[in-house]
């Protein structure tokens, strides 16, 4: 069990840390701009489209390749895979390319295969993430991931980042029927560990993460500013907002 300090306030008796993945423990913009850019390249190659469409398809999926950042409105980084795929399909339909769903689906799968073989090229940790996970483990707390990514992809990312030995459970979008901010993912985690809501916190970079924790009735939802949401957006949901996970301080431990 642990007490944690957020800014000047202490949150006591925490037994479970639930983290979002992208933008919370690993760099969001770096990962997804590479993934989306590669998807767009493969789609254009298969359809014989010029390079000018690569950036446009990526932008439709939510990545601004010129700035190397994601669009705040998504869909990538915020919505499920199927929504991102449909955004590519809609763009292609708009320029006269019909019946392209299967082609886009296959491009997504190809990128999964390529990245799975060399995921270290695609992932970077958020500063302080490893230290916080290891401190939580040392004080006997459980740690879990609740992500919009698929479970096996999230597990692979945690392995590449060197976090796998400190993560007790991963729940992906493919494990639930209702997306964030519905609390279904959190409820699965709480049930798996038999831990009360009053002893658990949620940490995430998106408004949907923080709202999910609030909807689940957890002890606290903590917003970090390493993703897409602004401080003002997160402050509208929770009083606990910090620059990044390195600012979440474990002040007492009881292992």
Q: Is the pLDDT at 16 greater than 90, yes or no?
A: yes
If you average pLDDT over residues 22-38, what whole number do you get? Answer: 95
Tell me the residue range of the domain where 102 lies: 29-121
Return d(Cα 53, Cα 46) in angstroms, integer: 12
Q: What is the pTM of this model?
A: 0.86
Determine how many CB atoms are found less than 10 A away from the CB of residue 194: 6
Q: Which residue has the higher pLDDT, 173 or 254?
A: 173
Q: How far, CA to CA in Å, does 235 sit from each of 75, 186, 203, 241?
A: 22, 21, 14, 7
Per the rule left: phi > 0, alpha: psi between -120 and 50, beta: everything else, 91 is alpha
115 and 148 co-located in one domain: no
Predicted confidence (pLDDT) per residue in 47-64, tens digit: 999 999 999 999 999 999
Instruction: Give every CB contact of residue 71 below 8 A, 6+ residues apart in sequence.
Output: 59, 62, 63, 64
pLDDT at position 252: 77
Query: Do 74 and 13 fall into the same domain?
Result: no
What is the pairing mode between strands 63-64 and 69-70?
A: antiparallel
pLDDT digits (tens, 9 = 90+) for 204-245: 999 999 999 999 999 999 999 999 899 999 999 999 999 999
The count of C-alpha atoms lying within 13 angstroms of the C-alpha of 24, restricted to the half-sphere facing its C-beta, is 32
- pLDDT at 52 (0 to 100): 92
With a pLDDT cut of 90, the percent of the chain lying above it is: 92
Shared domain check, 88 and 19:
no
Q: What is the CATH number of the domain that holds 176?
A: 3.40.50.1000
- What is the pLDDT averaged over residues 9-30? 96
Pair 11, 72 in one domain? no
Encode pLDDT of 98-145 as tens digits. Answer: 999 999 999 999 999 999 899 988 999 999 999 999 999 999 999 999
pLDDT at residue 198 is higher than 90: yes
Same domain, 244 and 154: yes
Q: What is the domain count for the chain?
A: 2
Same domain assignment for residues 19 and 79: no
Residues 16 and 62 both lie in one domain: no
Are residues 135 and 17 part of one domain? Answer: yes
**Which of 95, 121, 147 is a domain's end point?**
121
Same-domain pairing of 183 and 104: no
Clarify whether residues 58 and 11 are in a common domain.
Answer: no
Query: Tokens 């602004």 belong to which residue?
Result: 230
Tokens of 198: 């009053």
Last residue within a domain, chosen from 121, 148, 178: 121
Residue position matching structure tokens 């490893």: 130
Residues 116, 168 within the same domain: no
Per-residue pLDDT for 255 more than 60? no
Residue 253 pLDDT grade (very low, low, confident, very high; cuts 50, 70, 90): low
């Amino acid at each position: 069990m642990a007490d944690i300090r957020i800014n000047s306030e202490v949150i006591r008796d925490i037994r479970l840390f639930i983290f979002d993945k992208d933008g919370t423990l690993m760099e969001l913009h770096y990962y997804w701009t590479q993934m989306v850019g590669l998807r767009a390249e493969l789609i254009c190659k298969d359809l014989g489209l010029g390079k000018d469409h690569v950036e446009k398809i990526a932008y439709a999926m939510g990545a601004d390749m010129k700035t190397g950042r994601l669009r705040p409105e998504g869909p990538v980084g915020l919505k499920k895979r199927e929504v991102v795929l449909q955004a590519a399909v809609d763009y292609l339909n708009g320029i006269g390319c019909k019946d392209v769903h299967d082609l886009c689906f296959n491009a997504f799968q190809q990128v999964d295969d390529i990245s799975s073989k060399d995921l270290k090229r695609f992932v970077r940790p958020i500063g302080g993430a490893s230290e916080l996970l290891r401190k939580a483990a040392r004080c006997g707390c459980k740690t879990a991931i609740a992500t919009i990514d698929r479970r096996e992809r999230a597990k692979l990312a945690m392995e590449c980042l060197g976090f796998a030995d400190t993560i007790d459970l991963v729940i992906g979008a493919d494990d639930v029927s209702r997306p964030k901010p519905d609390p279904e993912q959190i409820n699965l985690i709480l049930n798996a560990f038999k831990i009360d809501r009053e002893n658990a916190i949620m940490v995430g970079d998106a408004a949907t993460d923080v709202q999910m924790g609030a909807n689940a009735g957890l002890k606290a939802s903590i917003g970090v500013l390493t993703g897409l949401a602004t401080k003002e957006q997160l402050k509208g949901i929770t009083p606990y907002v910090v620059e990044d996970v390195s600012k979440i301080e474990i002040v007492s431990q009881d292992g």
